[in-house]
Chain A
């Protein structure tokens, strides 16, 4: 069974630039999560989708971050404009429903310089 796919694996941008990350969840998984993991810390939930609807985006900095999952499958996370403190690993995870185990992708490591 294919796992959660994310791209790119690495990205380096200058502050104030824009960046987008892509996630393809495990086939059939209705629940999709985006997490931000700063070095030395545990992952922090940014947004949770159930199919193409947003369940929780309470910790998403909406002035600069946006995410969408238009067809209830793939998802993109965008940062515009990026700040130095956005440097982190962005993890995508999916599960068949919110009460079952979530499987994580390998993440995208973002460095803002």
Chain B
């Protein structure tokens, strides 16, 4: 069964600190992997998109890594800000089907 699992489920950090969110998946074959940020009450917004041949992709303070061999991805947030408080969702798109398979997300809270 194609699955995407994320950890931790929730995370609280202080402003200015770094954090890393994890995503493990069993989807195979896959077309690409995406990280989305979802603010409370809003739709998900794409942060990074990586194909299976890419190892890392950055978007400002967000850096995503991908290990297609171990089927693991991580999202690293540097120098966190209060506005980073949101849910971060890992999504794997199946090759051929192009179905979006969503993880359950990590809820991040950044405290002043």
Contact = CB atoms under 8 A, between A and B. Distances in A.
Interface of A: 4, 33, 40-45, 56, 91, 93, 98-99, 101-107, 109
A104 B99 contact: no
A45 B43 contact: no
Nearest to B44: A104
Interface residues of B, number: 19
Interface string B67-109: 0000000000000000000000101000000111011110000
**Centre residue among B34, B44, B45, B46 by max chain A CB count within 10 A:** B44
B104 A40 contact: yes
A42 B99 contact: no
B42 interface: yes
Contacts of B98: 98-99
B41 interface: yes
A102 B45 CA distance: 9
A25 to B, nearest CB: 12
B63 interface: no
Q: A-B pairs with the 8 shortest C-beta distances?
A: A104-B43, A42-B102, A98-B98, A42-B104, A104-B44, A106-B43, A106-B42, A43-B102
Contact of B46 (A40, A101, A105, A109): A101
Contacts of A99: 31, 98
A42 B31 CA distance: 19
B45 A104 contact: yes
Contacts of B50: none
Contacts of B44: 43, 91, 104
Contacts of B46: 101, 103
